[in-house]
Structure formats: C-alpha cells, structure tokens
Structure 1
Amino acid sequence: MFKTISTLGLAAAVASSAMAAEQWQTSWYAAPQPGWDAGFALPTNMPPALHDQTVREALRLSAGGRRVRVVLSNRYGTEPLVIGEARLARAGAGAVDSAPLSFGGKRSVTVAPGRQAVSDALDFSVQPLERLSVSTYFPQRTLPSTFHWGAQQTAYIATGNQTAARRLARAEALHGRVFLSAVHVSGGEAATHGGGGGGGGATEASGCGAAAGGGGSCAAEAVGGGGAAETSGGGAAAGGGSCAAVGRGWAGGTVVALGDSITDGNGSTPDQDRRWPDYLARLAAPRGMGVANAGISGARMLGDRMGERAAARFEQDVLAQPGVDSVIVALGINDIGWPASAFAPHDPAMEADTLIAGYRKLIERARANKVRVIGATMAPFENALQGTPLSDHYSPAKDAVRRQVNDWIRSSGAFDAVVDFDAVLRDPAHPSRLLAAFDSGDHLHPGDAGYEAMAQAAYAALERRRADQAERRNPPASRRLMADYALRANPPYGSSNRAMPRDMLMREACEGWLAISALPAPRAASASASLR
C-alpha cells in the first residue's frame, strides 16, 4: 500500500530536528509548469498519460556535496501523484553507481495535488558539475499535469519498472521533463576540496543508461569518464581553499536565474548543457555556488500560459530554494512580444510603465526575504521568428518598449546589480539585432557562443557585487587589494613578472575580499594615510 505524503509529517519533523544544522542548497532545478489546451500555438510534447512506465531524466549539477535530496513536484496536479519507485544514478570508471530514493523511509510515495515530495537525504557524494540521472516509475495511470516544456535535454520512457536497469529496454525519447523539479546538495565543501566519491565524467548514454550524461544516442552504453567531474579552472578542486568553505556570501549558496526561453536555453545545442545558466555554473563551481535554472519557455512577468506569471511562481521557484542568495531576473521580452501575435492575439500592447511595475514588485519581495536582485536587460530581437507564423513577435513599436525598459533597468538603481545582456549580445552596427556570431538563427534566441558570453557577463555582475560589499566595508583595504591584483594580472611593460593566471587571481581575490569583510571599518585618519 502506498503511503501518502500527508502521513510523513512526524518523520519529517523528527528528521528536521536532527538535521537542523545541515545546510542545503539547490544544485539543479527545472521550474514546474502546468499544461495547456490543444488550441495554443505550441504543443506540450507530452504523452497523454504515463501508466506502468519508467521515465529517465538526465541532468547536470552545479554545486557538489556529500548528501543529496531529489524533489518530485505535483504542483499543478489535480489528482494524487503515485510514485512506485525512484532512483538516482551516475556513471564513473566504467561502472554504474546508483541508489534508490526513499520518502519517509519508504520506496514509494503518493504526492497530494499542489504539493511536492522531497526525498530523504541520501549519502551520495557528488562533484560540482557532475552528471546524474533520475529514474521514476509510475505504476498507475498518471496525467503529466506538472511538467517542463522543451528542456534542451532528452529524457526516455520505457515500459515497466526499469528504474534499476543500466539501459532502458525499448525506450522512446521524451523532449521535456515530467514531475522531476530539483536536486539539493549539502556538505559542498567536501566536493570542492575533492573529498567526495564518484567523480565520473560525462557519459555517452543520454538517458539510456542508468547514469546517463549529457549526450549521445539511446544505442550507446554508459561509458566511464574517469577522473573528476568537469569544472572551470581545472578539476573539482580548482578554486578550493578557505574561500570555498565559507558558506553563503561569496562562496556557497545558490543564485536563481528567473527567466524565459532564453534562460531555458532555446537555441543551444541539445543534451550538451550549453544554456547560459549552465555556463554560469561552470564559472561558479570553484566557489561552491549553486545555480538554479528557473527559466520557462514562454514565461512572462505579467501573464500566464506557458508557466505562471512571475509573481505567482516567485515564492516557489525563487524564495523557497534552499540556500538562495541572489536572483537574476531575466524576463519581459514575451510580455512585449506576445500581444498581437499568434501567442496572444487579443492581448493589449505592453507599456513600459506596466512592465516596470512588475519588476518593482519582485524586487520588494526579494529584499523582504534578504535575497539580492540582479536585473538583466532584454536582448535585441529584430526579425525574431521571421518566416514563421509567429513573426509578429517583433515590431519597431515593441522594440521601443524594450529599449525604454532596458534604460530603466540600467539607470534606475532599483536593482542590487545589473547584467547588461543587451550590450553583450547586440550587433554594434545594428543594435536592434543580435550579433550574427551570437544568433542561433531565429533572431530571438542566442546560440552556444551567445549563451557563454551571457554567463560571463552574469558572473562578472556577481563578482562586482561582492567586490562592492568589500569596498563599502573597508574601502582602503579593498582598493589596495584591487590595485595589487591589477598589477599581478597585467604586469607593467618590461617587468620580469609573469601575468597571474585568471583562475588563481580570482581565487585569491575572493579570499582577500572575504578577509576584508571580517576587518573592522577603519577610522578616517588611518584611511587617508593608507592611500599614500
């Protein structure tokens, strides 16, 4: 007999008390969304129902840790969601490493409508950027009422309970996600210092093997990657040391990317983790920082349809994320583009002041919860979706609204920081268009190179934010630090000193800023003297 989620309260309370000191952070996320009717411009690409079937979904973590939890969501369901069994897996050194998930000590769980099930903590050390898979068995007829459209990641469906199988037999591809919404990790400093096990690399299975990774076809076997999981800066231990073990602040914590199809990675190479939050995760991995991708294709600040409006999902997709430290708000282009198009033919034209009011509400809610807010400007979109029934997404009048809102994002001071995606992606010779090298081809979504450039800009904004905090805390010490690192990064002409590698430079800068934050603020006299 399946145990309902409501009966797990006592066990959860006991576990909560026992693990009160354990710090969790979201390491991977796929924002849940409700389905829509067949009359909409796009299909859901979901099967009508799942029944006596296993779904295997591949994912790549951002932060690592010693313990893992998996979240299955029935947020938009109208009936109880019955999970017969779920299993977490990875590949490494040619062998499959997997473990069953439990919920209140049971292998099966029933999730009430509107709720989610968080698995019991599993001792399962994972490295930053490690690729995993989650296999979920649905014994009863189940409507895919809570899903994630597109996802740029191939999942697989097979008949029967194959959660423990290395390869799914007679599997069919699924282009989207269903019910799986998050992976949490704790004890991240162990993974950052290389102390965790199972550092397998990418595999070739992409959902076929139990530990499928980022690419390949269903005919391929899982192969061992060996060594540490992919990281920026050269290995899982890169960027380690005291800076990575500090916790929330510079290191640790999670930044949520709240966005639309551009955040969800449309236009990137499928099954290769090349969305801009994926690239950001690579940059942030040495800091122990998690990146949660809360992008939904078609998402809007103020409207529902492909996902709920931002205000309606902000609590669960942002504020409820364990360890959330910052949110990057990258929304608005669909609010502007959808009216008078096939997406929303009867919606009135969006006005800049209306959209700005939506931003302000999110900023207020974030700050009330001590979450930093980073505003992202909207990328240019001239000729977006040209040659398709959706070509009305762009018009010069709509672009004027985009520019007006972008000017406000840059100059208002409403955000804690700003990342100027518009400046990064636009063609300098034609600013209303994407630079050709960054365009996926539809003139709306960047390609891989564009997403990488966006991530670099986002990471720079996060770094500037931390540096500004150190500057406010102790300006003289911060200025000395930055002057010293500037010389080490770019030695004077004729100097015998070699330029310091960037990863080493930023690691030491991180530790320096953290040390400055612990210093007492200087008195005015000593401050002026220190600058001589």
Structure 2
Amino acid sequence: MNVWAADGALSGFYNQTIREVARISIGGERLVLRLTNEFGDRPFQLDAVQIAMAGEGGAAEPLTTRPVTFGGSRSATIHAGSPLFSDPIDLAVGPLARVAVSYYSSGFIPVHTHHFEAQQTAFISVPGNFAAAEQMIVQQTTTSRYLLSAIHCETETATGGVVCIGDSITDGYGSSIDGDCRWPDILAERFQQHGHESLAVVNLGIGGNRILHNRRGQKLLERFDRDVASLAGMTHLVVLEGVNDIVWPHTVLAGPDEEVRADDIIAGLRQVIARARIAGLKVAVGTVTPFEGTMSEVPNSGYYTAGKERTRQAVNKWIRSQDDDVHVLDFDAVLRDPAHPARLLPAFDSGDHIHPNDSGYRAMAEAVDLGWFN
C-alpha cells in the first residue's frame, strides 16, 4: 500500500538491515520472493538479501540461511513503481512454517511503499550488514512490513489457492502481534487439519482499504488485477470489504464527498464478482460486520449513525440474496451481539467496537464451510 502521512511511517533506512518474518501457507520445495517499490518515485539498490527459517525474537535458525539472487546477482535495483522478483531459492519449507527475510542496503531505502498494519514484528538493525547473521543487533522494531510483499512457493502438490481480500478485518487488526491469529491464518490451519493440505491461503487484507475510494492502499476495484488476477494457481476468492466505505465519510478520515450509497457498494461488489469469474475463481462474499460504538468516546465523531447502519443492512441483505454462483459467508451473524445486533459481541470485540479480537477471528474462520472448497 502507499504511505499515508497519518500513519506516521518511518522515512526510510540508511545502511541498515531489515528482517521481516512471515508464515508460509502450504509450503514448497523452492521459494520466490516478491519485493516492492510500487509507490516509490525513485530507484534504490539492495546489496544483500538472505532468507532463513525464522527463530525466536528475530533470529535466523542456524544453518538454514540462503543467499537470494536476482538474475544470478546478489545485488539488485528496485525501480520506481515496480516489484522485484528473486531467482528461485532452494529452501524447502513445510506447511505453516515461518521464514525470515533480511535485506540490506549501504545507501538509503526510502519508505514510500509499505504494509502498515502487519500484526507481525519487523526488526531494524543498527548500521551494518546483518542479512546473513543468525542474530542481528536490533536498533528498533515495528509492526509494519516494508519491501517484502509476497512469498511464492513452488510445489507439485498444490491443488489451488484461496485469495482472501479485504480491509483491516482480513488484515487481522486487533489480533495478537506475532500470533498468526488473523482469520485467514486460522483458515489455513483448518485446511491442514481437515483434508485440504494442498490448498493455499493468501491474505490480501489492507487496513483502511475501501471498494470505491483510495487513501489507504488502492481501492479494491483498482488493485484487483495486481493483487488477485495476477496470482498463479488460485481457485477461490473470498471478499470482505465495505465497512470503511460506509464508516469513513463525514469523519476525520473522509469528507462528505466520499459518501456512498448501498447501491454503490453493491455495484462495486458486482464488478469484483464479474472480474473474479473471468479469472476462473469461485467467489464467496462476506457480510459487512457490526461497528456501532466505534469512536463513541469522541463526541459527534460520525463513525456510527443510524443512516450508516441502514446502509450496512441494505448491503448485507443483497449479499445474503445471492444465488448458488456466489457463496455467502455471514460474518455479521457470527460476530454480532444477539441482544444488540448493530454491535460486536463483547466476547469477540478487540475493544474498539469494529475489529474482532483473537476469539472473534477464530469464530470467523471456524464458521467457513470447508465443503465449499472441495
């Protein structure tokens, strides 16, 4: 996603090593990294990139570190507006394995592209090249991602993949840091436990993302081709977006000019469904989850109004009316308080009244009918 000034991102890194940890879905025999400078306006040089099995506290497991090359070279330039793919890396990883990707530049890496709410610790070193080190000397940590945007696994056992695209609720905001407790994480675990071991899960949630307007990440209609249609081997798409389209207008996040009607959101979802079908994907759409009480401590904040609730209900009514070509995931019914349906169930509320906690995300994943993926 692009850097939005309100996120207060780091301006960049100079002569430092950054180590990012990520969990693989189904694993594979070889890996390909996708690094990115897609929102940058200048190229920058990487002098070293390494990958290893992740240890505790930002460490790399001994004897597992592999150098990453690009066209046979250990250094590479990431051009402005572009991703950078590595050569295949001979590092076999099992299902749900964690890997650590470390990269170093002796110059300056500007942060114009990042993933703000990763719910995963990234480690930033003191000056120096620690890419191949088992343990870095850490200057600071963040919970954002920077250059690493995807890890592709080469395997002969895959039967397909599930793309989960959405906003912060798919991104897992409110879940435990480093806990892999986002609902797509739990879905991947269920696949491993219940006969879908060769079906991958890809999380493409962006906190603050919307269907129809840009600000935090490109809007869903704009990023669909890059984030969904370009992925190889995918067979299913789960869409859970719309809450920010409803909540943001008339607040400090978005003005009244970005107000949308239920029909606007429905038209956007129709377009996503149509494009997914062209890409050969089976489609599921999740209902928009409750948000009453959001920012209630701020007088006249505008996040929740009776009119916004009516819009949510109208969108959900349309989603629930879909025929058999579109699978419905009624996350609203899973998370809402039966005694107060416009609110999250307190046991599932992270505390901000819009994002679930670990228990809520687990309830979402466990409500998904695995039979749909057969």
CA shift, 1:95, in A, is: 3.3
Aligned residue in 2 for 1:168 = 136
Distance 1:143 1:122, change over 3 A: same
- Give the 5 Å matches for 1:59-458: 59-91=22-54, 95-158=62-125, 159-187=127-155, 189=157, 247=158, 252-285=159-192, 286-388=196-298, 391-413=301-323, 416-458=326-368
1:136 and 1:390 map into 2 onto residues whose CA distance is: 45
Aligned residue in 1 for 2:12 = 49
- Contact in 1 for aligned 2:240/2:285 (Cα 8 Å): yes
Distance 1:306 1:255, change over 3 A: same
1:390 and 1:268 map into 2 onto residues whose CA distance is: 28
Deviations 1:377-411 (A, max 9, x none): 01111111322489422111101100110110110
CA shift, 1:138, in A, is: 2.1
CA shift, 1:256, in A, is: 1.0
CA shift, 1:142, in A, is: 2.1
Distance 1:426 1:51, change over 3 A: same
What amino acid does structure 1 have at the position aligned with 2:93? Answer: V
72-81 or 386-395, which deviates more: 386-395
Aligned residue in 2 for 1:517 = none
Deviations 1:453-494 (A, max 9, x none): 111123x1x52353xxxxxxxxxxxxxxxxxxxxxxxxxxxx
How does the TM-score come out when normalised to structure 2?
0.93
- Contact in 1 for aligned 2:62/2:134 (Cα 8 Å): no
CA shift, 1:346, in A, is: 3.5
CA shift, 1:81, in A, is: 3.0
SS of equivalent residue, structure 2 residue 92: strand
CA shift, 1:349, in A, is: 2.8
CA shift, 1:296, in A, is: 0.5
Deviations 1:268-304 (A, max 9, x none): 1111110111111111235211111110110000010
CA shift, 1:434, in A, is: 0.7
Where is the strand percentage greater, Structure 1 or Structure 2?
A: 2
- Which runs of 5 or more residues in structure 2 are unaligned? none
Structure 1 segments, 4+ long, off by >3 Å, are: 91-96, 388-391
2:135 and 2:310 map into 1 onto residues whose CA distance is: 52
1:83 and 1:403 map into 2 onto residues whose CA distance is: 49
- In the alignment of these two chains, the number of paired residues is 366
1:255 and 1:435 map into 2 onto residues whose CA distance is: 27
- Give the 5 Å matches for 1:488-527: none
Distance 1:160 1:390, change over 3 A: farther
SS of equivalent residue, structure 1 residue 166: coil
SS of equivalent residue, structure 1 residue 327: strand
- Contact in 2 for aligned 1:184/1:322 (Cα 8 Å): no
- Which runs of 5 or more residues in structure 1 are unaligned? 1-32, 190-246, 467-532
Bigger relative contact order (CA 8 A; separation at least 6): 2
Matched, 1:58 2:25: no
What amino acid does structure 2 have at the position aligned with 1:70? Answer: L
1:336 and 1:99 map into 2 onto residues whose CA distance is: 46
